[in-house]
Every structure is written in C-alpha cells, then in structure tokens.
Structure 1
Amino acid sequence: MILIKEFEFDAAHNLVHYHGKCENLHGHTYKLVVKLEGQPDEEGMIFDFVELKNMVNEKIINKFDHAYLNNIIPQPTAENIAIYTWENLEKHINRDNCRLYEVEVWETKTSGVIYRGE
C-alpha cells in the first residue's frame, strides 16, 4: 500500500546558478506530497496521518513556509528541495512496517519533481 499526505507552503527563492528569469528573486506556492510504502500494523494503519502531519510540519513546512529558501538550501531548485525533504524525513519515518517511498515537490500546477532516494 502507498500512504499519501499533501502539504502546501509559500516561499521565495532565486536560482543563483541559473541564467534566465528564475535567477531573479521570485516566489511560489509549493505543493509537497509525501508518500510512504508499507503494510498496516496492528492498529490497521501504515502510519498515523496526524503523526505524519506533525512530523512534516516540524521538519519541513515550519522551516520553508514564508521563508527565503536560499537561506536553507544553497540552490533551491525543486530537485534540491525534494532531496532536502527526503534526507530530513527518512530516518523519522522508516519503521518495520513502512518506509518513505517518494517525495513530490511542485513549484506550479504543471511543474514538479519526484524523488525516491538514491
């Protein structure tokens, strides 16, 4: 089974190693999708949605929302945001019955990335 939880945050960034409009300061309303793969435990759940929400809010959303992402990630592309998210969630999520499966980061409604670890 795949468990899915979606989040949203607003943030600004500029891509300093890019030559084009995105090298200028600008912002997005990002969508972050966290997916876990696993089997239901003795309570019938892969992972408690409330626990997952609190964990992602603490480790990611509270740091990114209304922030200048360059202060957190040197080149905050969607790809690098996905990697950062994976690295900061994986050790807190992986359990006997489940593991972090996939992270999606959407900069716009039509442009995003999917990361599944290395």
Structure 2
Amino acid sequence: MILIKEFEFDAAHNLIHYHGKCEKLHGHTYKMVVKLEGQPDDEGMVYDFVELKKLVKEKIIDKFDHAYLNDIIPQPTAENIAVYVWDALVDVVKRDNCRLYEVEIWETKTSGIIYRG
C-alpha cells in the first residue's frame, strides 16, 4: 500500500546558479506530497495521518513556511528541496511495517519533481 499525505507552504527563493527569470527573488505556494509504502499494522494503519502531519509540520513546514529557502538550502530548486525533505524524513518515519517511498515537490500546478531517494 502507498499512504499519501499532502501539505502546502509558501516560501521565497532565488536560484543563484541559474541564468534566467528564476534567478530573481520570487515566491511560490508549494505543494508537497509525502508517500509511505507499507502494510497495515495491528491498528489497521500503514501510518497514523495525524502523527505524520505533526512530524512533517515539525521537520519541514515550520522551517519552510514563509521562509527564504536560500537560508536553508543553498540552491533551492524543486529537486534540491525534494532531497532535503527526503533526508529529513527517511529515518524518522521508518517503521517495521513501512518506509518513506516518495516525495513530490510542486512549485506550480504544472511543474514539480518526484524523488525516491
């Protein structure tokens, strides 16, 4: 089974190693999707949605929401944000019955990245 939880955060960034429109300071309302792969535990759940929400809020959302992402990630492309999120969550969500499967980062409704570690 694949468990899916979506999140949103607003943040600013500029891509200093990119030559084009996005090297200027700008912002996005990002959509982040965290997916866990596993089997239901004794309570019938792959992972408690409430617990996952709290964990992701603490590890990611509280740091990223209304932040200047360059202060956290040197070149905050969607790709590098996805790697950061993966690294922050991979060990803390792992259980005997499940593991982190995939992270999606969407900068716009039509532009995003999927990372599977």
Using structure 2 for the length normalisation, give the TM-score.
1.00
Match of 1:37 in 2: 37
CA offsets, 1:19-47, max 9 Å, x none?
00100000000000000000000000000
Aligned residues: 117
CA offsets, 1:79-109, max 9 Å, x none?
0000000000011011110000000000000
The whole-number CA distance in structure 2 between the counterparts of 1:8 and 1:75 is: 20
2:3 is equivalent to residue 7 of structure 1: no
SS in 2 for 1:107: strand
Structure 2 stretches of 5 or more lacking a match? none
Match of 1:68 in 2: 68
What's the CA shift for 1:16? 0.2
The whole-number CA distance in structure 1 between the counterparts of 2:93 and 2:59 is: 12
Structure 1 stretches of 5 or more lacking a match? none
Aligned AA (2:61)? I
The whole-number CA distance in structure 2 between the counterparts of 1:84 and 1:8 is: 16
Aligned AA (1:16)? I
**Structure 1 segments of 4+ aligned residues over 6 angstroms from their partners:** none
